[in-house]
Amino acid sequence: MSKIFIDNRADVAYKKYFHDCEISALVALSYFGKDANISVSFVTEEEIRLLNKNYRGIDSVTDVLSFPAYDSGEFPCGAEIGDIVICISRAEKQAKEQNFWCRSEYEISLLTVHSVLHLFGYDHATDEDEKKMFAIQDTILSRVVHEKAQRFVYRNARPIDLAQFKYHFEHSKATVKEILDILSDYQNSDGGFGHALEADALNPYSSPIQTEAAIEILREISVYEYYDKANTVAKGILDFLSSGECFSGKKWYYAVPENNNYPHAQWWHCSDNYENPSTYNPTASLASFFVSNADNNHPFFKTAERIVAESIEAFMSAPMKDMHELVCYINLFHDLQNLPLYQNADFTNKLKEDIKNIICDNSNIDCWTEYAVTPSFFNIKKNSPLYCDKEIQQIIQQECKFLKETQNSDGSWDVSWKWINYPNEFAVSANWWRSIICIKKLLFLREFGY
């Protein structure tokens, strides 16, 4: 079993980087399938300058030094393979110099992985050697991101989110049936969903938004590849949507009065005119789910078809600038793209254009630490016809790099929004969201090879 021994000979505050250093070194060793021991020292700028002068003949401060115990990079199992010396203050400065959002934790991970590769005999003296070494380094750093996020999810996630993580990344540990079993705990007797499945509203009663959150999970796990349309969860949803509850006759309500009786985010507060929603969020997505999953002789089927048509008509009438409503239309597209009646080139082209515009309008990376639209928000797939634009592809690559550089030491990413009220409940909600965000970001990174 590999061990990493860390000696902090610098500021006591640097102990906070032990976890990042240790996990990065262990993941690097696992990449090579080796059990080995490594000693790491955190030192001051004065000490690393002296070491650099004595061992390399360079009288200047550097960020990291590696001292391999084996020249060839070959060593017996369990061996002490060398020492790594990291100047933490220099690493922190380098992180800030790169980008204001780049976390020092990422820089520590990068330097640790880089140094472990040196202990294995890799170098970057030539262009060819550098290309080979840095390719392995990027692969290992991606695994570090995954490992840290996995640990966070296992320690913090709700059962429904942990089951989804296992389904997506550990296929043998969670099945569709297990996810459906847990999901059914959020389903009420009327078939709708509540109980904070959408974690920004703690209302236990059924609402369209909470039911849409359940549908999103069904879409992500391709439930209908394994279960008949009449399974209990899906049938309950169809029953709720066709019941007339939370429905104006044209749209399902965006927010419901019961929300106001329980802790919730301000955007889920129900106003007096809730029965006349101005948005097709979540109506467009709910209607397309119904049309794509109900029998066409269902009493509500024609109504759902009408709502889909009205949704598309509204969408075609003006640019779509709301990212949440746009997601509903993306869901509509994917739900109905294989049905001949809905293969509408004009709708598809406008959807592509609106997606491109909203992503490109928010392409300033300096704003991504705030609540902003990024490609990962749209659950982008490489083979989707909606995201083939070259400019979007470039922004996707930028976000992949951004996600690596902004992951927290605990493996999560920051929640970029806050509730105005209910601070204690929001603290719980935010922790749930961090696990949900971990899953979404890891799926995005995996999709694009990071």
What 306-313 contacts at long range (C-beta under 8 Å, 24+ apart), as own/partner pairs, is 307/250, 307/251, 307/283, 308/284, 308/332, 308/336, 308/342, 310/250, 311/280, 311/283, 311/284, 311/287, 312/344, 312/347
Please report the pLDDT score of residue 227 as a whole number.
52
Average of per-residue pLDDT across 278-303 = 96
- Report the distance separating Cα 350 and Cα 362, nearest Å: 18
Which domains, from first to last, does the chain contain? 3-122 (3.40.390.30)
pLDDT tens for each residue of 185-206: 999 999 999 999 999 999 999 9
| pLDDT top residue among 179 and 247 | 247
Tell me the pLDDT band of 315, cut-offs 50, 70 and 90: very high
Indicate the length of the chain as a whole number.
Answer: 450
The helix/strand/coil state of 266 is: helix
* Residues forming a β-bridge with 207: 193
Query: Does residue 173 carry a pLDDT above 80?
Result: no
Our CA angle for 386, 388, 392, nearest 5°, is: 95
316-353 burial code (b ≥16 CB/10 A, e <16): eeeebeebebbbbbbbbbbbbbeeeebeeeebeebbbe
pTM of this prediction?
0.93
Amino acid at 34: K
Query: Does residue 12 carry a pLDDT above 90?
Result: no
Token pair for 118: 């040196």
pLDDT tens for each residue of 269-281: 999 999 999 999 9
Please report the pLDDT score of residue 417 as a whole number.
97
Please report the pLDDT score of residue 223 as a whole number.
61
Q: How crowded is the C-beta side of 135, counted as CA atoms within 13 Å?
A: 6
Please state, as a whole number, how many other Cβ atoms lie within 10 Å of the Cβ of residue 448.
16
H-assigned helices in 186-249: 208-220, 232-241
Tell me the pLDDT band of 254, cut-offs 50, 70 and 90: very high
- Check if the beta carbon of residue 286 is closer than 8 Å to that of residue 241: yes
The percentage of residues in the chain with a pLDDT greater than 90, rounded to a whole number, is: 82
Query: Does residue 228 carry a pLDDT above 70?
Result: no
255-282 burial code (b ≥16 CB/10 A, e <16): bbbbbeebbbbeebebeeebeebeebbb
Tell the residue number behind the tokens 């409940």, with chain if given: 425
Residue 250's nearest CA partner among 301, 323, 332, 308 is: 308
Please report the pLDDT score of residue 340 as a whole number.
79
Amino acid at 35: D
Query: Does residue 372 carry a pLDDT above 70?
Result: yes
Residue 426's nearest CA partner among 265, 249, 188, 212 is: 265
Please report the pLDDT score of residue 385 as a whole number.
83
Lowest mean pLDDT among 50-64, 215-229, 362-376, 388-402: 215-229
- On average, the pLDDT of the chain sits at 93
Please report the pLDDT score of residue 224 as a whole number.
53
Average of per-residue pLDDT across 37-41 = 97
